[in-house]
Amino acid sequence: MKNRLIAICLLTLFLSFVSVAQTKPAWITTIEQQIKRGEKVWKIQKTNERGEQGSYQEDIVLKSGVYTAIIRITVYGIITNPEETFNAEVRLFDQNIGRNVKKVKLENFDGEGFVWPRLNKQGWTVIKLRKNDIFIHVYAPTPTIAKRFTKYVTDNLP
């Protein structure tokens, strides 16, 4: 009986952690609201939300004419080595895009961040950054737009 009670308590505790980690943080809603107010040309076309065991991820898909930009925010509720995970992700991205594009350290940010400007002839830019257990990826048609969208996120990170 005592073992069963302990097992039920542990299961309840585990499920409460998982369900908390899966809910949308309020600061992400604030980012969406600021984009809606601040962007005249870019509109939020849709958001894709995924709450998975111990993490929450949302893609904010923005549209302007024929162009699409994406802000991906991932909040890891349970991660033991965010620095190593982020660094591995950056190395993999570097290897996949080739030698013609060099990453640049993102300035004026209180975390780790890199910009890959002008990935192709059209100027597409990728920004990847991490603050603690929050990873952000921004994909946009130009470095200026990518940095502007990144600022919406960095201004609201907890």
pLDDT in tens, 103-113: 899 888 888 99
Tell me, yes or no, if the pTM score tops 0.85. no
Where along the chain do its domains lie? 2-154
Instruction: Identify the H or E element spanning 65.
Output: none
Q: What's the CATH class of domain 2-154?
A: alpha beta
Asked if residue 54 lies in contact with residue 21, where contact means CB atoms within 8 angstroms, the answer is: yes
Helix (H, G, I), strand (E, B) or coil at 113: strand
**pLDDT tens, residue by residue, 34-57:** 999 999 999 999 999 998 888 999
- How far is the C-alpha of 29 from the C-alpha of 22, rounded, in Å? 15
